[in-house]
Each structure stands twice: as C-alpha cells, then as structure tokens.
Structure 1
C-alpha cells in the first residue's frame, strides 16, 4: 500500500519497482505538482530506469525520460534517490535523512538561489514511515565541461586540490550568508531546526571512561604495531599521553561544547553538513574560473558553521590542513559576510571547529584501528594507507584519513585551553 507524501499529497514510491509501476502517468503528475513541468506537457516515455549502487542510505536510479514537448531547461537525464532500502536494514536506518532534503529541494527552486545544486524535479516525504523520494537533474561527470567525479580521501588524484577546496568552502559559506541575510523564503528556512546533535548519521556511541580508555589503548597499540598507517608525529608517546588526558576532558565537557556551538548566534546558519568533494561537482566558467555545485543534502539544517566547515574538509589531505587551514577559515568568514550574513569571528570559528572535531573524533573515529584490523587481519608494520586493500575501499580509506586529520589537528592545537575557556 503506497504512502502519501506529507507535502504534495501524492503517492510516494518507496522502491524502484514502485516508481516503474507508476510509469509515465505518475511522473507527469509528480513533476506538475512540484512545478517542474508545464500543465500542457507530459512524460510520454521512460527510456531508461537503471538501478545503481552507492551512498550510505536508500536506493538510487538513473532515469531517462521523454516529454511530449521540449521546454527550455527541461532535462531528460534524471537521478532518483529513495529514502528506503528494504533489503539492507543498515542502509534503511538512514531514511530520516531525507526529511530535510525534501524541504531543501523546494527551497532550492527559489529564484536567485545562491549556489548550484542538482535541479529538483520532484520531492516528497512521509514522516511516519520515513518513506521519501527525490528526483533531480543528473550531474554528468566528465561531460559538458564538468570535471570527473572526485572520490573521498583520494585528493592525490585531484588537480590543484587547494583551488577545489577554496571553491567548495566558498559555496558552503555563500549559502550560509544568504540564509542569514533573509533573502531566502522564511517559511521554508524556518522548517530547518537548530538541532546540532541531530546533524549526524546514525546513533553516536556512549563513551564511558572505561570504554574511552580501551579505545585509546587500542589506538596506542595500533600506532606501535602499524607505523606505516599513521604519521610519526601523532604516534609519539608524548602526544598519545596528552590525547588520553584531553579526550577525557572533552567527554566531561561535552555539554559545554554543544552549548558553546549552539549559543554562537552569528555562527548559526543553513549549511550542507557533509560537503566533501564526493558530494560536489566542479567546472570552469568562460573565464576559466573554477566553480562548484553541491549535492546529496541529507542532514541539511541550520547549524554552527564550524560543523559544516569540518564536514567539507575532514577528508582532505593532512597537508591541506597544515598549509591552508587558517586561510580557509578566513575565506569562509569573508564569503559569508559578502553574501549578506554576519561575519563570523575567524578565531572563534577556528576554536569551534577544533572542539567539534574533538567530539566527532572520539565519538566516531576511535574505532578505526579495530575496524581496519578486523577487515585486514594480516596487516604488518610495513602496510601503508596506499595498500590497495585500504586505498580501494572507501569504508577503510576514508575513516583512516579522517582519523589522521583528527590526530594531527589535535596534536597542533591546545585543546586544554579551548576547554578551559568554555563557560
């Protein structure tokens, strides 16, 4: 029995088969209800309906359609994202992420929207069941001037990474500044709550002091046994001892950290929570200037912009953090103000990012050593992150790079001073 969407009152197909069964008639009615297709036009043929893999939630389709009449800007190559995956309970648990993504799809149709996103054609969601569907124009990586897709934590394959991260940060900041300027429809932006802890995928682990100590001990042993997987500076006994002490401080001050992030009013704005390079596409305009669009807006909400900046940079090479972190913080602040929002204080933003990084690191990434050992029990001291078994597996490659960034930032920051300054 199909559910009816909360926004448009149409049946919401939960699976690729349900969408195919609805056929051209459903797509016509859906596109017209969303305002993406004229009343005198219709979908006359589904030329392609091909399921693809990828992402951490839901199922996906490549959809090619034909219309009765051509219309300016009306694309035939589309992308379909379902919130549900009934065959995979782990993926299906992420179905609630689409609730905000559907509202964002309506917002993105606002004239003069400040950044490029895949043009939405239909979106609706049924909150009680977590069933939703999003249909957008398809991003044609490697064609029509669009650069090929860059995968997470493979920045060595990206030309001029600093330039790409600058335009990525600029896009996130421009949306934040435009929302804070009041130029976007308030009735839509008000639908995004300020609930910082909800901007995450999955349930965070509860870290008791004993559990935290066990994970830190595993990390220390991992550093000793596998020196090729982490940089030397973060494997030093002095740093690991400091990390143990400060990690417990972070857990004890968790409520104060969230309060500081929430109460920084000039730093709260609508943001993409995970604007990593694999959720972006890049092209150059007629003058050769690099541009960027953002996709995959699950968990979009109003949040402390430090959370969004960490989400955009957490998978970057450690050298980018070492050489460009402060410049990228200032760029974000300048671009948010240029878009009409308040200008965040760069020093405060930097501190917020480090505190948020520490929370995310100990909550989500301290199990990386155990995860890698479980998947690769024959690791030895000579194994590096470029081992094909790690480099070719995003589920190992990306967490390892993010953990490396956490440890490197932690080593170069004074978390104790930041924690002591909390009210």
Structure 2
C-alpha cells in the first residue's frame, strides 16, 4: 500500500508546505512507526539514468607506482563516458566548470536537456584536518551553482566527493584504491540503489569511476546541517532551538560528547539499520545484489562443515604468538603513549594482562566466532551500511519531537552479518553509554527489522552473536597503531597529548578515530567482564561445531 502522504498534520496543526520535498514522505513514515504499522516497500519508477549508464567496469588492481602515475590522468568514466575533475582547482577550470557540470547532469538525467548550469559561483574544498574534518576516506568540496532555469527540485548547493591525490596522501589513497574495490561499490550504489532506500539520503546528481586510473567522483545535494552551539571543555554551552525537520548540527566521528543524548541517537541509527535490512528480506535490492540466500544453522552446517579443513598445532601456537605481540603493542600504546587519554583503571597492568591472556587463549578461534559462525543463519544477515556512525547520518526532529535520520556514505554496502555492522556503528560509542544502553539499542534494531518485513529474531541470540564479534574487535583495534596511527602522527608527539579534548588530537582525524577505538574496546571489554565466559559457554555448546580442529 502506498504511503499516505499529506501536506498537513491535523493532529498537530502542522503544515509541510514550503519544507524540503522529502519531508512529507518522512512524516508519513514516522506516522507508521508511531502506530506500530508495518512499513514495507511499494514498486517505484526507475530513474532514467539506469537505462542510459553502462555497467560498472571490473576493478583493476594497480601497484603503487602504477597508481601514482595513472591517477594523474583525467580519463573518461566507465558509466557515462565523460572525463571528470579530480581536484577543486580542476573543477573551477575552463576545462570543466559550468559546461562540464551541464554535460554531467544531462548524462545522469538529473537536469532537463533544455536547462543548463550557467555559473559555478563556489568550489570550496573541505578541511581534511581539524576539529570539523570531513571524514577520512576521501576529499570533499562544496559547490554553489546557478541554473539557466531554476526549478524547485534542483539544488544550487552541491556536495562533491572524490579521492585523495596520491602525491599528497599516498597511504590514504592506497587504502581505498589499491588494496580492494572500496570506491566502485559506493559509486555503483549511489547510481543504482539510493532511490530504493526506506529513508532519505542526499539527492543524486552525478557519479562515475575510471578503472584505469581509479579516479572517481560523486556529486549530490549538500545537506544543510544546522549551526552548532558554542563548545567549551567538551560540552555545548549555547542552546539553540531547532525547528521541526531542520537538520541538526553535524557530529564528527568519535565526538559523541557533541550529542545531547548519545543513546537516543544510537537507537535512531539502529532503527534505521533495521529498516534497511528488513527491506532486503522482501527483495527490495535484488536488482542490485541478486536474490538473497536463505538457510538455518542445521542447513548451514550440512553445507559447510563436511570437509572443512583442520589446522596444525604449530599454526595455532604461531597465531597466539602473533596475537600476543599485537596486543603488547596495544598495551604499550595505552600505558605509555596515550596514557593521559585513558581512564585510570585501564592503565593497570594486571587488568590489561588479563585481557591479553583471555584474548590470546581465544585467538585460534577468532575466525570461527566472527566469520564462520556469523554466517550460520540468514535471519541474522542482510544488506547493511558498513559504517553507520553519527557522522554518516543526518538527523532531525519531527513535529512530535521524535528523532529520525537520513543516511550518507554508501561505501561497502553489501549483505553481511549484523554483528559486523553493529561494530561499525558502536565502535565510536563511549563505554559508559554502551554499558547502560546496549540491549535497548539492539532491541531497536530487532523491532524495526521485524516491523518492516524481516523475520522475528531473538535479542538473546543477537546479543550473543554481537558479543562474540566484539572479542575479535578488541584485537582488531590494535592493528591500526603501527599501520596507521604512527604514520599519521609521530609516536613522540602523540605521547605529549594532554587529553581527549587536546586540539591536536581532535584535529588529527585518523589518529582520533583509531585511538578511541583502542581505548573504547579495551575499556568496554574490561567493564563487562563476561566476554571470556560467553566464549566458553558457546564453544562448549553449539559453538563446538564451528571451531577449527587443530592437530
């Protein structure tokens, strides 16, 4: 049944006239949620661009030297066949500018053929460092354009995302372009899927990727984030009133202290993830992802367990030694490098050594509990956003004061176990928030997943799967110390940081994110105190069928 979209809420005597075009639909969706009524998809007309664009070309793995040389070129994209700018300066140049934007928007079907972009008034690159750094996976810029004929459905404030220049950021560029295909799926998703989602996302204008160079570009509307109140000593001290459906201020990654009530925002994110997953279960994304598989644990074990290779005791010992060394790096980081950022009780060597001992003991089975087992029941897997933290969403309150959100940044969108994606969202949450609200947050996902068409799943089972994944997550957090943190900032300088609110720490986006992941994961593991027991109970029971055999 199509949504009952109205332009006026009689109950609240609230009009949607003059508000953005997504608001009436968001209000209709919120009404279903308040009533507990199912929200399932209806057929929708395909955008014309899906007929006009060529398929995404296969990814090409480039060696560092090849990536350095090829990425300097402006070659045509594989879907629309247009060359495209790779820097803010090029966007403003005569080679591109308004004429190129017109061609791009015509090709993508987002601008009528009898209309054109007549001026590019602004092309401003966003900061890659600083308190308000705009993420860590790509460069971004704002565009202000003027059309020959303005239309209510056209945005003049646009947002452009594109990869780092290899010459300036070789490590960051290699991570997203050289090791695996991170860029292609995000571009393909933006092109072919965003109109199918059960929530708003930034309106699409153009995208393309060149496989020969690994260069890509994505242009959407700019989300008009509200003004943040004045911040002092980690708290917002200036209260600003926001109107219904006004986009709330942006919250950076690992900056939950900017949120008035972090748990409320995580509940909102988890309801949104539940809705996204549910619509996969009713076939909404089949044209993009194919038909979903379906099996239970018994069927899964029949399919996978027979002939599963055993391993050797020697490899088990080597795994434990490697994990132990990595955890030693993490312990050294917590106690000797970022010790001023770490809670006092988490500097206790006895506490940290106990965590290490437990993780080393469980480490031969990390893949079993976080990968093999997590795929055992398709009720607990679906299409998911890979990293839905608060910085990848935009929030508003409706006329009832209820919080809702739209979603951004679709890199890594795929079918995967829920527990993996919960990590991508909750890794930025403060341990105190998680200790108080973990079950309630996950229950929000379960309820919305069921209401919007997914199967009814168990909170107890979901928590167990999530907690088994968390065990490996603690170890995984330490691998980025040598691989990334020390490459972004010298160890000697990190050791001089005075606290989480140190300007240098907040300004160093990747250092901040990686470091807080280590601190949060170790702190939460210790605070809960039950992870080893959960593993033992699982491995002695139903988990025994998933454990690698060592001989």
TM-score (normalizing by structure 2): 0.67
Matched, 1:62 2:142: yes
CA displacement at 1:52 relative to structure 2: 1.9
Quote the residue 1:121 is aligned against.
Answer: 205
Task: Name the CA distance, whole Å, in 1 between partners of 2:127 and 2:505.
Answer: 20
Task: Name the CA distance, whole Å, in 2 between partners of 1:155 and 1:45.
Answer: 39
Quote the residue 2:27 is aligned against.
Answer: none
Matched, 1:300 2:401: no
Task: Name the CA distance, whole Å, in 1 between partners of 2:141 and 2:479.
Answer: 34
Count of aligned pairs between the two proteins: 406
CA displacement at 1:293 relative to structure 2: 1.6
Q: SS of 2:182's equivalent?
A: helix
Task: Name the CA distance, whole Å, in 1 between partners of 2:504 and 2:380.
Answer: 40
Is the CA contact (8 Å cut-off) linking 1:276 and 1:315 kept in structure 2? yes
Q: Which runs of 5+ in 1 are unaligned?
A: 194-206
Task: Name the CA distance, whole Å, in 1 between partners of 2:518 and 2:376.
Answer: 28
Task: Name the CA distance, whole Å, in 1 between partners of 2:74 and 2:496.
Answer: 49
Is the CA contact (8 Å cut-off) linking 2:320 and 2:364 kept in structure 1? no
Quote the residue 1:4 is aligned against.
Answer: 76
Report Cα offsets for 1:374-413 as digits up to 9, x if no partner.
1436559xx5434444355433333333223312332323
Q: SS of 1:217's equivalent?
A: helix
Equivalent residues in 2 for 1:355-374 (5 A)? 355-365=468-478, 368=481, 371=486, 374=491
Quote the residue 2:191 is aligned against.
Answer: 106
Q: Which of 177, 189, 198 matches 2:289? A: 189
Comparing 11-20 with 219-228, greater Cα deviation is found at: 219-228
Task: Name the CA distance, whole Å, in 2 between partners of 1:39 and 1:313.
Answer: 45
Task: Name the CA distance, whole Å, in 1 between partners of 2:270 and 2:251.
Answer: 16
Task: Name the CA distance, whole Å, in 1 between partners of 2:291 and 2:80.
Answer: 16
Equivalent residues in 2 for 1:244-255 (5 A)? 244-255=356-367
Task: Name the CA distance, whole Å, in 2 between partners of 1:121 and 1:13.
Answer: 15
Report Cα offsets for 1:191-236 as digits up to 9, x if no partner.
999xxxxxxxxxxxxx954443233334445555576533355455
Quote the residue 1:284 is aligned against.
Answer: 397
**Structure of higher CA gyration radius:** 2
- State the Cα RMSD in Å: 2.9
User: Cα–Cα, structure 1 residues 224 and 90, in superposed 2: closer, same or farther, change >3 Å?
Assistant: closer
Is the CA contact (8 Å cut-off) linking 1:317 and 1:401 kept in structure 2? no
CA displacement at 1:133 relative to structure 2: 0.7
Task: Name the CA distance, whole Å, in 2 between partners of 1:340 and 1:277.
Answer: 25
Matched, 1:45 2:162: no
Quote the residue 2:429 is aligned against.
Answer: 316
Task: Name the CA distance, whole Å, in 2 between partners of 1:393 and 1:4.
Answer: 34
Is the CA contact (8 Å cut-off) linking 2:138 and 2:163 kept in structure 1? yes
Quote the residue 1:213 is aligned against.
Answer: 324
Is the CA contact (8 Å cut-off) linking 1:30 and 1:122 kept in structure 2? yes
Task: Name the CA distance, whole Å, in 1 between partners of 2:335 and 2:74.
Answer: 55
CA displacement at 1:31 relative to structure 2: 1.4
CA displacement at 1:183 relative to structure 2: 2.8
Task: Name the CA distance, whole Å, in 1 between partners of 2:103 and 2:490.
Answer: 51
Is the CA contact (8 Å cut-off) linking 2:471 and 2:531 kept in structure 1? no
Q: Which of 160, 164, 174 matches 2:275? A: 174
User: Cα–Cα, structure 1 residues 326 and 38, in superposed 2: closer, same or farther, change >3 Å?
Assistant: same
Is the CA contact (8 Å cut-off) linking 2:281 and 2:292 kept in structure 1? no
Task: Name the CA distance, whole Å, in 2 between partners of 1:124 and 1:323.
Answer: 44
User: Cα–Cα, structure 1 residues 241 and 130, in superposed 2: closer, same or farther, change >3 Å?
Assistant: same
Equivalent residues in 2 for 1:357-396 (5 A)? 357-365=470-478, 368=481, 371=486, 374-376=491-493, 378-379=495-496, 384-396=499-511
Q: Which of 162, 179, 203 matches 1:82? A: 162
Task: Name the CA distance, whole Å, in 2 between partners of 1:397 and 1:83.
Answer: 21
Quote the residue 2:7 is aligned against.
Answer: none
CA displacement at 1:344 relative to structure 2: 3.5
Task: Name the CA distance, whole Å, in 1 between partners of 2:124 and 2:511.
Answer: 28
Task: Name the CA distance, whole Å, in 1 between partners of 2:445 and 2:490.
Answer: 38
Q: SS of 2:471's equivalent?
A: helix
Is the CA contact (8 Å cut-off) linking 1:366 and 1:403 kept in structure 2? no
Matched, 1:405 2:517: no
